[in-house]
Structure formats: structure tokens, C-alpha cells
Amino acid sequence: MALDTVTIATQNPDTTQPFAELGLKSDEYARIKTILGRRPTSSELAMYSVMWSEHCSYKSSKVHLKQFGEKAFKSDALLVGIGENAGVVDIGQNYAITFKIESHNHPSFIEPYQGAATGIGGIVRDILTMGARPIAVMDPLRFGLADAPDTRRVLPGIVAGIGGYGNCLGLPNIGGEIVFDETYAGNPLVNALCVGVMKHEDIKLATAHGTGNLVVLFGAKTGGDGIGGVSVLASETFNAAKPTKRPSVQVGDPFAEKVLIECCLEIFKADLVIGIQDLGGAGLSCATSELASAGSGGMQINLEKVPLRDPSLSPEEILMSESQERMCAIVAPEKIKHFMAICKKWDVTATVIGEVTSGERLHITFNGELIVDVPPRTVAHDGPVYNRPIKKPDYVDQLAKSTFEVPLPTDADDVKAAILKLIASPNIADKSWVTSQFDKYVQGNTVLAQPEDSGLIRIDEETHLGVAVSTDANARWSYLDPYEGAKLALAESCRNIATSGAKPLAVTNCLNFGSPEDPGVMWQFAETVRGLADAALELGLPITGGNVSFYNQTGSVAILPTPVIGVLGVIQDVRKRTPMGIPAADLDLYVIGKYNGNLSGSEWAYLHGEIGNASPVADLNMEKRLVNFLLDGQPIFESAHDVSNGGLAATLVESVLKNKIGARVDLNDVANALFSETPGRVLVAIKSSATNEIVSLAGKYQIPIYKIGTTGGTDLEINQAVISIEELSKAHTETFPKLFG
């Protein structure tokens, strides 16, 4: 009788194995042998290599991320927190919302269209596995310089991939960001967010319970695309000077995913699954080990039963494949017939590939031969944990001691020229060339979408209950001070939620950084996590989950530290939302909040080749008061728009252009007032009859307010500078078509 693979591994301990080629360190390989009491089989080695990768195991970030639990705000709204596929919060009326943001950065550089498309597909399945119907997506993006050849290669493909996949799924794209900076050259950031809705009783978890319950793989067949995909791609620095491991990028089929979504929702409605997990990073290696690890027993998998698109795939390749549009469910035997009938109805391939066992091991056989015999938790949850060296980079103190000046306009002609230059710059310019490729209104529930401060979706047609979502990051502030940068990003995202009339409720995050093997990068990361944990606690918001993306650098050049912070808010009646655009003439304009003249990290400084010397310091107590002011005053606001990227100049232009209604503004210290991006400010328009009300409200919340002008006409007049709406529109809208069209 032939020996099985596990026995052969036991009897041949000195067989050379390619652990280093699979991304494992020598001490990690030694630890695997200690866990198993022998060398791993080739299939076990494949599983450990992808599950212990940086992308899947969080081995460099775990020691810091635990702060999110230690400092967690105890929110009554939090139904499912960190540790599941996505967080879930209660928004009232027995509705629950699940939302999460993840990265698909490296695959999108290698193959822009499919990398971005499968990023959307993956985050949608994360939301689906919670038992929710996906209802909207968002896409915060970062690229190298706008006129760089590689940006012209990757940006159109990434945008097309996001639109192609999301549009085919019938999901509105309601927001996001596009930012350009030279540090993202070769490392574009493609962060994808999805929002889903369900009733409280419909929540599903990724767990395998009940001896004899069946393991069902359903969805697309397994192919050779994505073998080692994101789990390896996102765990290594790209180096232009030498070859690197660049596994094949996953290939998406949005129509297959659309059918899979509807199939899953019908299965959930019939209450046919005990636990469910999608197959994303690390594929079957992840789904089987995580389900078993989170359950109460072991698992037996018959790998030869996995439906294949390519019958030549080896067991190792089947376990590592990250082919898209696949799910793994735990189903009781008495419900399997109903489960299979629903899959047949939707023409979804479904196969029983194993069962839950009473033991404590994950056993995988292939054609009757035992190829994997592991404790599942050691694969899924007990991977390496590194407390990597941390060192504050020298540049931080050097910049802090430096003098920082940028030229500012001095007369009316200079002010006009400066504003036109600013609003035509790629980071501030109109993004309609991009957003027009996305369907914002499919499903008919979109209330606000790009370029509004936050996306707003109606949840219930009868009560008009809705949710708002915003994502924000100022990487230049994070570069100057990552602790403050994280706090400021969270505050801005909350502010964007509140300007629309929604109450901030919960936080997700996607933390994008360079190599964790660089002590300076780890300092940036550690300070970011500390800042986000402190800020969420002070603002009274739970962090529901998120994603860490390391190794975003080419050679020794790391990206700016980019913590993208997403906030979810709830609004009781979407009909009462506040838009950003000036809706009518003869309204009074007020700036809420105070500013200082610090231009550090601003777009105006960036346009002059400067970053500054000191990040603003977040005043979270004031930010809380501002949020409450915005919510209390929402009935009197005709429009509200956050002052952020591009300062008051950009805010005024965007408010004017939305409905082509001009404004007359008078400012003290006009140049600094226009281009400073001091946080904690909002531009609002009110009827003059509401003057006493807004003044009283400002006093109640101790928020400074300044009347700066009135609306009307066909020009934007700032002191003596006069710019026609036609000139503003031309400067604002022509940049992207010239660059990419």
C-alpha cells in the first residue's frame, strides 16, 4: 500500500523545501516544523506560506492593532466588531449596516483593470458573507504624478475596472478620492469600500460548528488565475532593479458574482447555512482553516471534489488559487437538498467537499491520500507576530526646525490667477471624467454621491432612513506627524458625514504604508494606529474593522503614510439631507470654525514643491461640538460644505459651480484665508431670516462663526477679485480630459 504524503513527510524530515521562494523566513519554517512535529507536506507548506503572509496574517501590525480593542469605545450600536469579515452596526428600525474597506494595491499595479475589478469583487463578497445585501461601493485612490507615463497606464485601467465590475453588479458608486503624489509612482493605492444592509436576525458569521455538518464550495470553478495572488503580491516590496515574485492577478467575472449574490441572499433567507466564508486572499487555504479555527471541532476536506476550470492544477495550486466569485458554506445534512436546489435555480455550481469533524485537526485528502494534517488555528490565527524595530525618522525633526514659506497672492489679479491655478491642479480639479464611468444611481436609492462631502443611501423607502459614508486621508499631514494625521483624517470624515445631516456612528480603516522592515515606516504606522485609537475613543466611535497594506514602496522609496479612514453615519430622513452646492441667490454665507495661517500639508504648498514643517493639531473636543452644531442646525442650512483640500478657495468654487450660482465674499487676510487648510471648518449658506438662530447655536456650542458674504450673480467675487462662473468651470473641468481623455 502506498504511503500518504503526511507519512512520507514524517519519514523524510530532511527533504529540501522551497520555503523561502514562497515567502517564509527560515525561523518561520522552523516554527512550522515544531508545530507539526515534522516537516510540512508541500500542500501544508503552501497553506502556511499564504496564510502567514503579511497580507493575511498581519504579523507586523498585530502588536499595534490591539489598541483598537484596548481603547475601544463601548458602543450600543456595535453588533459585530473586529475579527469577522466586516463590522456590523445597528442603525435602528431593526436594520443593521455592515461596511468595510480593503486594499488591492499591488495587483492593480500589475494588471490595472483586473486588479481593481477584483478588489471591488472581494470587498463585496466580504459584505455578502455577513448576510447582507450589498448596496453601494466607494473607491479612495492614489496615483503617482498625474502627467507621469505610468499614471497614464494605470489610472484609466483602474477606473475602468472599478466601473466595469461595480456597474455590472448593479451597485452605485457613491464616493471616493483621487490624489496624486510622486511617492505613489509604481505603488497606486486602490482601496475599495462596500456597504451592505440586513435585518438584525440575518447576521451570518464565519464559523464551522456541528460534527457531520457539510462543507460546501459554491460559485465559480477554481482556476490557475490568482495563484498566490494578493497574499504574496501585497507582502513584498517591488524592486525595479531585480526580478520579484509577481503571481498572476485574479480574473473577475462580475456577472457570475451578481448571480452568486442573489443565490446567497436566497440561501440566507431560507436559513440554510451555519457559517459562511468567501474565498478571497489565500483562497481555500483561508476559507477552510478560518472556518475550522473559529468553530468547535475539526474539518475533513476532499480536495479532488473541488470543481476545476483547469484539471491540471496540483493540490498546492488548488489550495493557493485566489480565483474569484467563490464561497464556502457550512450546511446541516438535512438542509443540503434545499441548498443545492437554490444553487441549481441560479445556475451556481455547488459541491460538497467535506464535513465538520469532532476532532481538532484540519485534514485534507486528495484522491484518498492525506496531504494536510494541521491544527487549523496555527494556520489561520496563530501565525508569526513581530514587534519590529521602530525609529522616528530624522526628517520629522528636521522639517519641524525648518522655515517654511510659499508665495501668496498680493492683489486682485494675483488672487484670481492663484484660484484658477489651484482649481485646475489634478488634486483639486473636477473628477467627472472618472466618476462618469461609474453608475451612481442604480437601485434608485442614492441621495448624495460624488462630489458631495459624503455618499448618502436610502435604506427604507417608507421611513426614509438612510446612511452616509465618507473616506478621508491627508497623507502629507500624516507624513509630518502620523499621530495627528490619523486624528485629523477621522475628524474630517466625521465632519463630512455631519455636513450632509447624518450622525457619525462607526469607523473602518485601510492603513497603507511602506515596508514594515523599515523602522521609520513602522514608527509612522505605530503612531497612526495610536492616533486613530485615541481619536475614535475621544469621539465616541467604535472601530469595526479594516485592513493593513504594507510594502507599498519601490526599492527604498515608500509612499506617504496613508491611513484612509471611513466613517458611517445614520440619518433618520434622507429628504432632509444638506447638499454641498449653493442652491439659490440671496443667501448669507458663513464660515463655521476658526483658521490659522498654517499652510503645511496644503495643496497650495504642494503646488510650490513644499510640504511644510508642522501638521495641524486636532482639536477633537471642538470637532465634537462642531458635529453637534451641524446636526442641530441642519434644518436652517441651505447648503454645507467641508473646508479641506484646497482650503476655502476650493470650497467656494465647488459650492458655486454645483448649481452655477455665484457669490460675493469679503475676507480679512485674504490669501491665508483662502489657501490654508486649517481643519474644523465648514462653509454654510442660510436665509437671512435664520441669522439669530445660527448665532445662538454657535454660542451654545462655543463655535466661532464669521459671515463672509452672500450668494447670487454669475461671478465669484472675493474682495476685489472677480472670476466668472464660466472661467471657473473651464479651469476646473478641463484638467482630467486633457490628461487622460
Which residues are annotated as catalytic?
55, 104
Q: Any idea what DSSP says for residue 304?
A: G
Q: What amino acid occupies position 178?
A: I
User: CB neighbours of 334 closer than 8 A, spacing ≥ 6?
Assistant: none
Contact between residue 114 and residue 169 where contact means Cβ atoms under 8 Å apart: no
Range 22-60 burial, b when 16+ CB lie within 10 A, else e: bbbeeebbebbeebbebbbbbbbbbbbbbbbbbbbbbbb
What CA–CA distance (Å, rounded) separates 213 from 654?
Answer: 57
CA 122 to chain centre: 12
Q: What is the Cβ-side half-sphere exposure of residue 619, based on CA atoms within 13 angstroms?
A: 13
- DSSP structure string for 681-692: -EEEEE-GGGHH
Grid cell listed for 569: 453615519
Q: What is the distance between the terminal CA atoms of the chain, rounded to a whole angstrom?
A: 66
Strand order in the sheet with 326-331: 275-278, 326-331, 214-219, 350-357, 298-302, 362-366, 369-374
Contact between residue 731 and residue 423 where contact means Cβ atoms under 8 Å apart: yes
User: CB neighbours of 297 closer than 8 A, spacing ≥ 6?
Assistant: 208, 209, 210, 211, 356, 357, 358, 359, 360
Q: Please list the residues that pair with 10 across neighbouring strands.
A: none
Contact between residue 121 and residue 226 where contact means Cβ atoms under 8 Å apart: no
What CA–CA distance (Å, rounded) separates 650 from 642?
Answer: 10
By the 10 Å C-beta count (0-12 exposed, 13-18 middle, 19+ buried), 201 is classed as exposed
User: CB neighbours of 107 closer than 8 A, spacing ≥ 6?
Assistant: 114, 115, 118, 119, 229, 230, 233, 234, 249, 250
User: Residue 718: left if φ>0, alpha if ψ -120 to 50, beta else—which one?
Assistant: beta
Q: Please list the residues that pair with 590 across neighbouring strands.
A: 684, 707
Grid cell listed for 343: 444553487
CA 305 to chain centre: 35
What CA–CA distance (Å, rounded) separates 274 from 211?
Answer: 12
User: CB neighbours of 636 closer than 8 A, spacing ≥ 6?
Assistant: 686, 687, 690, 693, 694
Could you tell me the sign of the dihedral formed by the alpha carbons of 727, 733, 735, 739, in that order? negative
Work out the number of other CB atoms within 10 angstroms of the CB of residue 122: 26
- Short-list 327, 332, 315, CA closest to 128: 327
Could you tell me the sign of the dihedral formed by the alpha carbons of 195, 200, 201, 206, in that order? positive
User: Residue 619: left if φ>0, alpha if ψ -120 to 50, beta else—which one?
Assistant: beta
- Short-list 531, 521, 566, CA closest to 546: 566
Contact between residue 714 and residue 724 where contact means Cβ atoms under 8 Å apart: yes
Q: Any idea what DSSP says for residue 132?
A: P
Query: What does DSSP say about strands 455-458 and 466-472: parallel, antiparallel, or unpaired?
Result: antiparallel
